[in-house]
Amino acid sequence: LRDLLFQASHLAGRALQAQGRAAAAADSFSTGLGYLEELRQDLSGADLKQFLGRPETAEFAGDAGLLFPSVKRSGDADRLRALLQP
């Protein structure tokens, strides 16, 4: 369920961003960070690397990684970078 919520927060953020609602999109991506944190806490080693490298995680990282700095959410950008480390 957490993975679906993670992916849903990503899709919602993308939709909001496409509507020009960058701040709301950042909020949705920030919610996704919470799910990402929960998902990765039970993983280690090769499983964690595989999770971080999967398309869903990589696309979220790319989208959120570009948006957070543009709306001055440096705390979220830092948190994202930390969560993407194996």
pLDDT in tens, the chain (86 residues): 999 999 999 999 999 999 999 999 999 999 999 999 999 998 999 999 999 999 999 999 999 999 999 999 999 999 999 999 99
How far is CA 72 from each of CA 9, 28, 31, 43, 46, rounded to the nearest angstrom? 19, 15, 16, 30, 33
pLDDT of residue 45: 95
Half-sphere exposure of 21 (CA within 13 A, CB side): 11
pLDDT of residue 65: 97
CA 33/CA 45 separation, integer angstroms = 20
pLDDT of residue 64: 98
CA 74/CA 86 separation, integer angstroms = 21
pLDDT of residue 49: 96
pLDDT of residue 9: 98
